[in-house]
């Protein structure tokens, strides 16, 4: 149980590091669906997403380098995921 | 006008990760929104009954990990890129219903907070990556474990690799079906192109799923074995 808990803490730390540090290294090639959409001529059909997104395209608009903008957006995403699912779990447990 | 020019984004840096708005026609997105909402509601109900209080932090960490890992695109054959999906990993660790719930949470945060993936296609993305991906990955994992035996770590990793690969290929086939149903692309073309590229991308999915499952699976209380009745 003890080592089990440690593993999940390691995973949480790894998630924060991946989101904040590794995201600038992401591949520049189009992803699978986008490749298919380009090859078969329907990429033009794609529409912009949710207009009120606070961090569109994984960029936090702060007066820092683009690397920081991406790292902070990624970190915010991890924090939101943790808070949302943890909060939901707590809510259920209270019932 | 392409996605690039519409958004004036640096497409070299960020890519659309899931189905964007506009790829599915009205009948398909309305149907899949209803079906996706139904699938999520049912998955939440099943999850609420099976997941204990002490598991909530683990689910939160796993959801955060899937979100973070999905940000990273790895290059495939110099022509495309793949990214981790995670539904199979969640299903192996906590069962397929948790897989659907976590994928839905990731998709919602991506769409609403990061403008990644469409809103009208949220239901379709939940059905493809959540329902189809998690269920297929889970079924393949359970089948492999039954066949290879359950007390062997190497067998568990092989099972997780095959399940990760199969889960993402199944999810891509589901996307292909929806594209064809929408009239966006002919059925044969959509299916062969989607499953073709994703059978390569699936290798990355399989490797990450196997590595993470080997690290995290608690063999004494393996959710997949415990929940064989699911």
Chain A residues within 8 A of B53 when measuring between CB atoms:
89, 92-93
From B186's Cα to the closest Cα of chain A, the distance in A is 10
Select the more confidently predicted residue: B11 or A85: A85
pLDDT band at residue B9 using 50, 70 and 90 as cut-offs: very low
Chain A residues within 8 A of B179 when measuring between CB atoms:
42
pLDDT band at residue B3 using 50, 70 and 90 as cut-offs: very low
Annotated domain spans of chain B: 19-226
Chosen from A23, A50, A55, A72 to mutate, greatest number of chain B CBs within 10 A: A50
Nearest by CB: B60 against A26, A85, A92: A85
**C-alpha radius of gyration, chain B, whole number:** 17
Region B40-61 average pLDDT: 89
Contacting residues for B73 by C-beta, under 8 A, at least 6 apart: A26, A27, A28, A29, A31, B15, B81, B82, B83
Compute how many other C-beta atoms are within 10 angstroms of the C-beta atom of residue A93. 12
Q: What are phi and psi of B19, to 5 degrees?
A: -60, 125
Interchain pair A15, B18: CB under 8 A: no
Three-state SS at A3: helix
Which tokens belong to A64? 């820092």
Secondary structure letter of residue B85 according to DSSP? -
Nearest by CB: A89 against B6, B12, B60: B60
**Average confidence score pLDDT of chain B:** 86
Instruction: Give B163-177 pLDDT, tens digit per residue.
Output: 999 999 999 999 999
Compute how many other C-beta atoms are within 10 angstroms of the C-beta atom of residue B176. 26
Annotated domain spans of chain A: 1-24+59-95
* Assigned CATH topology for domain B19-226: Arp2/3 complex 21 kDa subunit ARPC3 (1.10.1760)
Chain A residues within 8 A of B75 when measuring between CB atoms:
27, 29
Give the CA diameter of chain B. 55
Provide the percentage of residues in chain B whose pLDDT is more than 90.
70
CB contacts < 8 A, A to B, total 227
Which tokens belong to B215? 């690290």
What ipTM describes this predicted complex? 0.90
Interchain pair A84, B105: CB under 8 A: yes
Interchain pair A36, B190: CB under 8 A: yes
Which tokens belong to A45? 């059909």
The answer, for A40 touching chain B at a CB cutoff of 8 Å, is yes
Nearest by CB: B64 against A34, A35, A81: A81
Instruction: Give A15-49 pLDDT, tens digit per residue.
Output: 999 999 987 666 667 778 888 888 888 888 888 77
Instruction: Give B185-197 pLDDT, tens digit per residue.
Output: 999 999 999 999 9
d(CA B143, CA B95): 14
Cross-strand partners of A31: B81
């Amino acid at each position: 149980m003890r080592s089990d808990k440690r593993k999940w803490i390691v995973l949480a730390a790894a998630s924060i590091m991946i989101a904040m540090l590794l995201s600038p290294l992401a591949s520049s090639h189009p992803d699978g669906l986008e490749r298919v959409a380009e090859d078969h001529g329907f990429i033009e059909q794609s529409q912009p997403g949710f207009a009120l997104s606070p961090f569109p395209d994984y960029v936090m608009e702060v007066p820092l380098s683009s690397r920081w903008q991406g790292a902070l957006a990624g970190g915010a995403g991890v924090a939101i995921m943790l808070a949302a699912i943890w909060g939901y779990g707590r809510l259920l447990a209270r019932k | 006008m392409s996605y690039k020019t519409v958004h004036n984004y640096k497409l070299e840096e960020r890519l659309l990760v899931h189905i964007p708005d506009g790829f599915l026609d009205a009948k398909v997105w309305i149907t899949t929104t209803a079906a996706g909402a139904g699938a999520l509601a049912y998955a939440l109900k099943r999850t609420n009954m099976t997941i204990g209080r002490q598991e909530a932090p683990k689910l939160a960490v796993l959801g955060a990990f899937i979100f973070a890992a999905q940000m990273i695109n790895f290059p495939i054959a110099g022509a495309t890129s793949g990214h981790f999906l995670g539904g199979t990993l969640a299903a192996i660790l906590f069962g397929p219903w948790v897989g659907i719930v976590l994928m839905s949470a990731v998709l919602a945060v991506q769409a609403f907070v990061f403008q990644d993936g469409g809103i009208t296609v949220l239901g379709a993305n939940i059905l493809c990556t959540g329902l189809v991906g998690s269920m297929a990955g889970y079924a393949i994992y359970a089948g492999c474990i039954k066949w290879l035996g359950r007390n062997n770590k190497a067998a568990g990793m092989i099972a997780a690799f095959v399940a990760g690969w199969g889960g993402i290929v199944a999810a891509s086939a589901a996307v292909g079906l929806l594209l064809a149903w929408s009239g966006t692309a002919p059925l044969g073309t959509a299916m062969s192109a989607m499953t073709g590229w994703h059978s390569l991308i699936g290798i990355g999915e399989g490797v990450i799923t196997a590595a993470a499952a080997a690290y995290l699976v608690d063999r004494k209380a393996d959710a997949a074995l415990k929940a064989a009745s699911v």
